[in-house]
């Protein structure tokens, strides 16, 4: 069970609290976690990754275990603490807009 923390607007959109859990079959990576999240909450499709490019939206960041993983390859394994559910995978809205 992977814990995922969502930014405010995505919580509202999915009608959930700040943290949800998803099951991931196979390697636990940025891609597989977001895939699993969107499978459970289809209204989040396209809000985290761009449909056309498949890439993380530029004003979102991925964090876990106090590390910014945003520029790690999407198929790189996430930290063991995320895999075990000890730490959440955090999707964070960048502070932007002036």
Between 25 and 96, name the residue whose CB sits nearer to other proteins: 96
Q: What is the contact surface with other proteins in residues (CB under 8 A)?
A: 7-10, 13, 42-43, 45-48, 50-52, 57, 59-60, 93-94, 96-97
- Report, in angstroms and rounded to the nearest whole number, the Rg of the chain calculated over CA atoms: 12
Closest approach of Cβ 80 to other proteins, in Å? 29
Q: Where are the alpha helices (DSSP H) in the chain?
A: 8-14, 30-40, 80-83
Between 5 and 28, name the residue whose CB sits nearer to other proteins: 5
Closest approach of Cβ 93 to other proteins, in Å? 5
Between 1 and 52, name the residue whose CB sits nearer to other proteins: 52
Per-residue exposure over 14-42, b if at least 16 CB sit within 10 Å of its own CB, e if not: beeeeebebebeeebbbebbbebbbeebe
Alpha carbon distance 45, 42 (integer Å)? 5
Between 3 and 49, name the residue whose CB sits nearer to other proteins: 49
């Amino acid at each position: 069970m992977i814990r995922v923390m969502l930014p405010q607007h995505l919580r509202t959109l999915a009608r959930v609290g700040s943290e949800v859990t998803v099951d991931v079959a196979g390697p636990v990576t940025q891609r597989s976690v977001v895939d699993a999240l969107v499978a459970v909450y289809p209204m989040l499709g396209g809000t985290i990754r761009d449909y056309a490019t498949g890439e993380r939206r530029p004003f979102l960041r991925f964090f876990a275990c106090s590390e910014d993983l945003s520029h790690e390859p999407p198929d790189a394994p996430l930290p063991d603490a995320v895999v075990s559910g000890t730490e959440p995978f955090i999707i964070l809205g960048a502070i932007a807009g002036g």
